[in-house]
Amino acid sequence: MRSVVFWLMGGLNRATWESIIILFPIVILTIFLMVLQAWNINVVSMGEDVATSLGVTPKRVLTVTMVLETLATASIISFTGVIGFVCLISPHIARMLIGSDHRFLIPCSSLVGACLLLCSDTVGRLVLQPTEIPVGIVTSLLGVPFFLYILVSRRRRIWG
């Protein structure tokens, strides 16, 4: 029961070197394979017809990236529990930093995500000492306002 609660809240306090030994190769491999697909992802973002006319099969690219994403996320989540909003914030920050080219965007947003998680975890451990706030709560505190901001700014764009 305790571990279910822990898993649902999400946190890094159960992390051990063993989990890193398992996770490290999986994450490195998936990021590497994703970066190999990066140019194709750029092309598919222009629309399926255009991608086809440029010699890229959109369905194949989508399937490959979905499988890789799922593999990476699922393996991490199974060790740390659910930590929300990192994936919402970090790609946006990365895109603001270096632009839309996925060849650079994918590694950059992985790094931004890692930094974000580390900072949130540190903050969570320090703020209410000696009690530790799980990192999932801290990222939600950051993520919800960010989410609302995106919601409002997108709506403004649609309504002109």
Q: Which residue number, 92 or 123, has a Cβ lying nearer to other proteins?
A: 92
* By the rule CB under 8 A, 63 interacts with other proteins: no
Minimum Å gap between C-beta 109 and other proteins is: 13
By three-state DSSP, how is residue 101 classified?
coil
- Tell which residue, 97, 116, 118, 121, has the closest CA to residue 108: 97
**Can you tell me which of 5, 46, 74, 151 binds other proteins, judged by CB under 8 A?**
46
**Can you tell me which of 53, 63, 70, 122 binds other proteins, judged by CB under 8 A?**
53
Minimum Å gap between C-beta 155 and other proteins is: 17
**Can you tell me which of 47, 144, 151, 152 binds other proteins, judged by CB under 8 A?**
47
Give CA separation, 12 vs 88, 138, 159, in Å.
19, 12, 41
- Interface with other proteins by CB under 8 A: which range of 44-52, 66-74, 80-88, 123-131? 44-52
* By the rule CB under 8 A, 36 interacts with other proteins: yes
Q: Which residue number, 6 or 95, has a Cβ lying nearer to other proteins?
A: 95
**Can you tell me which of 7, 19, 95, 123 binds other proteins, judged by CB under 8 A?**
95
Cα–chain center distance at 158: 26
Cβ neighbours of residue 63 closer than 8 Å, sequence gap 6 or more: none
To which H or E segment does residue 26 belong? helix 17-36
- Tell which residue, 40, 65, 64, 35, has the closest CA to residue 54: 40
The CA distance from 38 to 125, in Å, is 36
* By the rule CB under 8 A, 100 interacts with other proteins: yes
- What tokens were used for 135? 């990192």
Residues in contact with other proteins by CB under 8 A are 36, 38-40, 42-43, 45-47, 49-50, 52-57, 95, 99-101, 103
